[in-house]
Amino acid sequence: MTRVLTFYHTSIGKKVVMAVTGFILVGYVAIHMLGNLQIFMGREQINAYAAMLKGNLALLWVARLILLTAAIWHIIAAIQLWRQSQRSRPENYHYKEVIQANYASRTMRWSGPILAVFIIYHLLHFTTGTVHPSFDAHDVYGNVVSSFRSWPVALFYIVAMLALGYHLRHGVWSMFQTIGTVNPKSDWLFHRLATIATVAIILGFIAIPLVIVTRLFP
C-alpha cells in the first residue's frame, strides 16, 4: 500500500490513474451512446432497453458506483497534476506562443468543468426528471423527444457534446501515451484512432437532438 501511495504521489502515478479512470469513462460513454441510438428503433425498443437496465438494480448501482468513483478520482488526479505544474512553474512564461499543444489539450482544463456541469444537468433532466417539465419515468422515448423539440435544450446538448469531443480527442491519445504505446513512429496512428473514436461517439450523441429538433424524427 505504501508503494502504491508513493507511486501515486508522482506525476506519472497521477497520469496512470487518469489513464485508467479515463478508459473506464470512455468505455461508458461509448456504450451509453450506443444505447441512446436505440431511440431511432422506436418507442417500444428504447423504453424496453431502459426498463431492462432499471430491472437490474444491483448491477445498475454497481456500475454507477464504479463510474462515480472513476469520475471523482479522474477529477482529483487532474487537479493535482495541474497544481503540481503550477508549483513547478511559479512564474508565467514570457513567451506564450503555443508550439506543440493543440487546441484540445489547451482547453482540457475548461472542457472538464463544462462537462461536470452538463452531467449534473443531464442527471436532473433525464434521470430524476427534476428539471424536466413533463417527465415520465416509464417513457424514455417521450422524455427525449419532448425535450429536444426545444431549440435551447437541443443546442445546449449539442454544445456540450462538442466540449466532450475536445476532451475525448486529447484524452484518448493521452491515455495511449501514458501506457507507453505511443512513440514517434506510431504517434500519427494513435492520433487518428483517437480522432476516429471521438468523431464516431460525438456524431452518435449529436444525431439525436439534431434530428429531433429539425423534425426529421420522429
pLDDT single digits (tens) 20-57: 998 999 999 999 999 999 999 999 999 999 999 999 98
pLDDT surpasses 80 at 105: no
Bigger pLDDT: 16 or 213? 213
* Phi, psi (degrees; rounded to nearest 5) at 205: -70, -45
Would you state the pLDDT for residue 172? 80
Sequence-distant (6+) residues with CB within 8 A of 129 are: 135, 136, 137, 143
pTM listed for this prediction: 0.84
- Supply the Cα-derived Rg of the chain in whole angstroms: 19
197: exposed, middle or buried (C-beta count within 10 Å: 0-12, 13-18, 19+)?
A: middle
Exposed e or buried b for every residue in 47-58, given b needs 16+ CB within 10 A? bebbeeeeeeee
In the numeric block, the cell 468523431 is attached to 199
pLDDT surpasses 90 at 12: no
For residues 154 and 208, what is the distance between their CA atoms, to the nearest angstrom?
Answer: 9
Average pLDDT score over residue span 15-22: 89
For residues 141 and 43, what is the distance between their CA atoms, to the nearest angstrom?
Answer: 5
Instruction: Give the best-scoring range by mean pLDDT among 38-47, 73-82, 162-171.
Output: 38-47
